[in-house]
Amino acid sequence: MKKITIILIAILLVILVIALINNISISSKSGLETKESSAGSVSVAVMPRSLEESSATWDFEIKLNTHSEELSEDLVIVSELVDDQGRVHKPISWEGDPPGGHHRQGVLKFKPILPRPKSIELKMSKLSASEIKNAGGISERIFKWIF
């Protein structure tokens, strides 16, 4: 009976550890958490990658999903990074899926902001045709991180 109890406790501990691992907030190499927006017809997840002053570029991994329309916007054009002083920084490139389809992912790259600000906001506007028409009042998504 004691042996069965020990086995059951071990199994429960393994299940608990797996459950905790799956519920931990995903964070990137930068230590900043993934931000998500599901407003409107497009869901967006943004994970900051390397945001150190010594990084060659500041990278944001982006995932876009929809089931109602094409994701046809050029993310370099519709995105900008705003620092804590209100200065606007445009992306230098998008490395990922091309415009079109219902699912896109890739990395949006910016020049590093020096000195590193206390906070940043990634602003994305008009991610789909319905957002261009401002359907549902969604014209812009804002993702903010504080260092």
Provide the pLDDT for residue 20: 47
Q: Is residue 39 part of a domain?
A: yes
How far CA 73 is from CA of 22, 52, 78, 80, in Å, comes to 33, 28, 7, 14
CATH of the domain at 137: 2.60.40
Q: Is residue 137 part of a domain?
A: yes
Q: Is residue 90 part of a domain?
A: yes
Q: Is residue 89 part of a domain?
A: yes
φ, ψ of residue 89 in degrees (nearest 5): -125, 125
pLDDT band per the 50, 70, 90 thresholds, residue 133: very low
- Read off the tokens for 121: 């906001």
Q: Is residue 99 part of a domain?
A: yes
Angle in degrees, CA 97, 100, 105, rounded to 5:
30
Q: Is residue 18 part of a domain?
A: no
pLDDT digits (tens, 9 = 90+) for 33-80: 999 998 888 899 999 998 998 999 999 999 999 988 888 889 999 999
Domain that holds residue 74: 28-146
DSSP state for residue 69 in the 8-state scheme:
S
Provide the pLDDT for residue 30: 56
Q: Is residue 76 part of a domain?
A: yes
Say whether pLDDT at 131 is over 70: no
Domain count, the chain: 1
Q: Is residue 125 part of a domain?
A: yes
